[in-house]
Structure 1
Amino acid sequence: MEIKDNTFSRQFETTLNGHLISVEYSFQEKKIFLTRLNVPENFTDEDFISDLLKNIMAIAIERKLKVVPILPKIVLFFKKNPVYKELLPPGIRL
């Protein structure tokens, strides 16, 4: 999966079947806040979203960032993938 970090729009982007899928973010200190998930209408491929989030976690690890999940769907991703809980900042409990 190829992910583009569109810093101008503050979002990670990828495409599936010609449709843009993105995760919007904002930075504060050494934390990245995942604030919004944009998918086409009637998009239901949860495995694709999970793979996208795993790739974003790899980017966060590479950049030594802590991840703050804002969306319930991303919180659920952390609950289903406890290996990434080390990316949560101190004090964040899911």
Structure 2
Amino acid sequence: MCRSIKTLFNFEPPASDAEVRAAALQFVRKLSGTSAPSKANEEAFHRAVEDITETARRLMDSLVTTAPPRNRDMEAMKAKLRSAKRFAPR
């Protein structure tokens, strides 16, 4: 489940609120062991997603770096090349 959580800090343009929320959702799914909570756990599940979203946004807004921002397209291309090499037929 958490394999879809990507690094969100130090990109240009910065991570959107939707991207931060998606990462929080994946994190809560991983912790809870379910992708869809039962009715009994629905409120706690959604509250956790919102709390983690807020905390993650605060963290990202607080982080500083001297490194230049990374380019999303270049990072995606590098990931595709790594994947192609990793899963290439032998």
TM-score, scaled relative to structure 1: 0.34
Question: Which has the larger share of helix?
Answer: 2
Higher RCO, Cα 8 Å, sep 6+: 2
Question: Which has the larger share of strand?
Answer: 1
TM-score, scaled relative to structure 2: 0.35
State which structure, 1 or 2, has the greater radius of gyration over its C-alpha atoms. 2
